[in-house]
Amino acid sequence: MMIEFLMSCKHFEKYDCSTTGKQLQIDKEYYRTQGLCKECWKKLKEQHEKARMEQQKARMAYYKNER
């Protein structure tokens, strides 16, 4: 069953959910407080990757200048 969840990023995302009752309420609460839609998750991953690459470049520049 496809259920549309309100995510913490304030976007809606549909997920195939086979749980019911209490577990469904737990899932809804999780997505509402911590979940990100696919688009926001993609943006977050890109930001982290960019920051990681900048750190790596800074380390490489530091070691290059040390020699």
Task: Note the pLDDT of residue 1.
Answer: 83
- For residue range 4-52, what is the model confidence (pLDDT) as tens digits? 999 999 999 998 887 788 988 998 999 999 999 999 999 999 999 999 9
Range of the domain at 32: 2-66
Residue bearing the bigger pLDDT, 3 or 20:
3
- Total-model pTM: 0.71
What is the separation of C-alpha 59 from the centre of its chain, rounded to a whole number of angstroms? 26
- Nearest CA-CA partner of 27 in 50, 47, 1, 45: 1
Residue 46 vs residues 8, 40, 57: alpha-carbon distances, Å: 19, 10, 16
Ramachandran region of residue 40, left (φ > 0), alpha (ψ -120 to 50) or beta?
alpha
pLDDT > 70? residue 67:
no
In whole numbers, what is the pLDDT of the chain averaged over residues? 91
Q: Number of folded domains in the chain?
A: 1
